[in-house]
Structure 1
Amino acid sequence: MRKYILALLLLVSILISCGTKSSSSKKIRVGTMVNTVALPIAYALEKGMYSNEGIEIEILTFASGAPINEAFAAGEIDIAASGLASVFALAQGNAKWIGEVNTTGGMGIFVRQDSPIAKEVGKVAGYSNILGSAETVRGLQILGPLGTTAQFNAIGYAKKFGLGGNDIKMIHMDNGPAYQAFIAGEGDAIAASPPHSFQAREEGYVLAATFEDATDVVSMDGIYVGTKFLEERRDDVVKFIRATYKASEILSDYQTRYDFEKDWFERNGRVYDDKTLDNDINYKVYVTPAMMQEETYIFGDGMTGTAEFFYEDNKISEDTLPNVQKSYDVSVIKDALGIDVKVDQ
């Protein structure tokens, strides 16, 4: 009888332990790309910064922002670290934009040297560096992934000439295949992002417009999380943000970032030569707590511009547009870092 009671007590103890086990023990699935935006997360994971916070992270990589959004919608990831394609997830009203990771310089529209566009300068008032005209841009076949900064770039370029998204043809390909297809002679232009935009410059292709000139937006890659997940595991999300920004501060040191970026990219199938790596570091700057406290920093500013742009091009509806600004939640940064951040409203 005594053995039976002891066994019963042990069983009850185990059941209670299982029943009260914190959800913080569950792995957080983070969807991202083998790109600049992923590096602080990869660094924090490999250096034990998340485990020091008491959370477990799994990184899942995707080719671009569009499949990250799809994985988020399907419940396959909990947190996303992605680019401006995130705007479509935020517009659905069930996600929060809780962190901005890095600037996204270096993107642009490239054409071949013999393109008629390359010979036309000064057709857009106030934008002396934009090449082309309404006549040469109309009907342009531009390679790049749909639902990402590439499409935003392409449509913005067309709009500079009084055209719209329907006046050009966006041929959907992921960034790497798009660049390979372009240098093989397919399409008329490419909406390229680093490292392919750097490679395009090196190979002598002509920059028709930078992303910033085409869209009038200074964009940020960043982090979004499901609203329900944030409600249920807020403490863990705060810990995730704290460790990620600590990693961003560390990676703001040129040599530290250079060494880790080169190594992590190569281990994940992306090989950069020294010049491409240097360009990536100089163009894509990490957001740090110090940067977020600068007078000119406004959280969500670039995402708002992106949302308004896609609304005007009928890619985001009038009823979902307000969800984007409503998604900005700097309270997680406040809890994680103890700083106040200005928000675009």
Structure 2
Amino acid sequence: MKKGIGVILVILFMFSLFAGGAAEKKSGDDLPVLRVAVMPFYISSQIGHIVDNKLDEAAGFKIQQVMFPTGAPMNEAIASDSYDVATIGGAFVFGVANFNAHVIASHINGTGGNEIWAKKNLAMANVKGFNPEFPDVLGSPKTVSGLKVAQNTGTTAQLAISNWLKVIGLEEPKVNIIHMDFAQSYQAFKAGSADVAALVSPYCFQTDETMVKVADLSQLGVQLYEEITVTDRSLNRKEIREILPKFLKVLFEVNDEMEANPQKKFAMVKKWYNDNGGSASDADIQAECNLKPFVTSKQAREMEIGKYERTYAEFMASQDKLDPKLIEKVVANSTDEFLKIALQ
């Protein structure tokens, strides 16, 4: 009898150990939170996939998405401590230079899907290759001067317009810049309130026969990457520093998976647009997937963090959009510390 009771006690003891261990395992609600600034565009689609499939929770943290319309308001929200990490385009340079954010990775080759369009009935539409070094670019100083140009200031749209004007030899004050967000720029251009507009994907895929493509970033000789940044305040929080390598590891695992499976990538991006009120057609989404490849783990290991960031900062400084004294700050605030841990 005593032997039987002893066996039962041992079993109960072992069960209690197992149960106790299970109780210590954190649920999704108990995991440390990483606030990620996202946009309802391609640039943030991987974040939606990570959350939908609880890949963040499997890695030991939980993502809280913070939605913004573009990168410019993301930068403005740094002061109010609205997020920890951002998926951001060309606006990153102002967040780093003016708000002390830090670049920790490049996650998308965003050169494609950044285009300038004009009304086809304009004289500039008939002038191609004014600058022989850029044979596919439309426009000349005479035909562009005085036109209304819509752009989302502080983003890749500004980069495109500034570089285009430089290529054709026209100073920016010679055109009428209209500052609007991406959706507003598209609508104003479509309605005829702007002669020229810088259109990012998916809007650059939604043009019609009354419009003509002026140039894209590739034709202007510009390379662009979408960035992952972290605010300075969050960078100095121990719990966030511990999450960052885990976050990047999951992000690049998703990038690898999607680049190896184009159909799955298309489905993921489409779901992101649908979940966030996007109006991109299947053709638009496919074009974006083709034009803007995700940076793979292999490519990320080969990239030198700070090199592209310097080039971009120098360009913005040359266009009087950034104080030249801040170029070195942009470089200094670009680090591969967390990426190296994530991809080891």
TMscore range, shorter length: 0.7 to 0.9
The answer for unaligned runs of 5 or more in structure 2 is 1-29
SS of 1:320's equivalent? helix
Q: 1:231 deviation in Å?
A: 3.2
Deviates more, 1:91-100 or 1:218-227: 91-100
Distance 1:298 1:166, change over 3 A: farther
Question: Is 1:219 matched with 2:227?
Answer: no
Q: What does residue range 84-103 of structure 1 map to in structure 2 within 5 Å?
A: 84-92=90-98, 94-103=100-109
Q: Percent identity?
A: 29
TM-score by length of 1: 0.85
- CA distances 1:242-264 after superposition (whole Å, capped 9, x unpaired): 11111112222211111121122
Q: 1:167 deviation in Å?
A: 2.6
Amino acid at match of 2:140: S
Aligned equivalent of 2:13: none
Amino acid at match of 1:140: L
Equivalent-residue separation in structure 2 for 1:148 and 1:88 (angstroms):
9
- CA distances 1:21-51 after superposition (whole Å, capped 9, x unpaired): xxx9442211121112211111111111111
Equivalent-residue separation in structure 2 for 1:123 and 1:147 (angstroms):
27
Q: 1:318 deviation in Å?
A: 2.4
- CA distances 1:198-223 after superposition (whole Å, capped 9, x unpaired): 112x5452111112333x32101110
Distance 1:112 1:125, change over 3 A: same
Q: 1:144 deviation in Å?
A: 2.2
Distance 1:117 1:147, change over 3 A: same
- CA distances 1:176-235 after superposition (whole Å, capped 9, x unpaired): 1211111111111000111111112x5452111112333x32101110002342232311
Aligned equivalent of 1:21: none
Aligned equivalent of 2:243: 236
Q: 1:282 deviation in Å?
A: 0.3
The answer for unaligned runs of 5 or more in structure 1 is 1-23, 339-345
Aligned equivalent of 2:44: 38
Aligned equivalent of 2:8: none
Deviates more, 1:91-100 or 1:37-46: 91-100
Deviates more, 1:164-173 or 1:180-189: 164-173
Indicate which of 277, 283, 286 corresponds to 1:275. Answer: 283
Question: Is 1:334 matched with 2:340?
Answer: yes
Aligned equivalent of 2:7: none
Aligned equivalent of 1:61: 67
Question: Is 1:265 matched with 2:273?
Answer: yes
Equivalent-residue separation in structure 2 for 1:50 and 1:129 (angstroms):
44
Question: Contact 1:30/1:77 (CA < 8 Å) preserved in 2?
Answer: yes
Question: Contact 1:311/1:318 (CA < 8 Å) preserved in 2?
Answer: yes
The alignment of Structure 1 onto Structure 2 pairs a total of residues equal to 311
Amino acid at match of 2:164: Y
Amino acid at match of 1:336: A
Question: Contact 2:309/2:334 (CA < 8 Å) preserved in 1?
Answer: no
Question: Is 1:183 matched with 2:185?
Answer: no
Question: Is 1:311 matched with 2:330?
Answer: no
- CA distances 1:126-159 after superposition (whole Å, capped 9, x unpaired): 1110111111222332112111111111111111
Distance 1:129 1:261, change over 3 A: same
Question: Is 1:291 matched with 2:302?
Answer: no
- CA distances 1:268-312 after superposition (whole Å, capped 9, x unpaired): 100322211110110010001122245xx4434443222112212
Equivalent-residue separation in structure 1 for 2:197 and 2:277 (angstroms):
22
Question: Is 1:167 matched with 2:167?
Answer: no
Q: 1:59 deviation in Å?
A: 0.8
Aligned equivalent of 2:199: 192
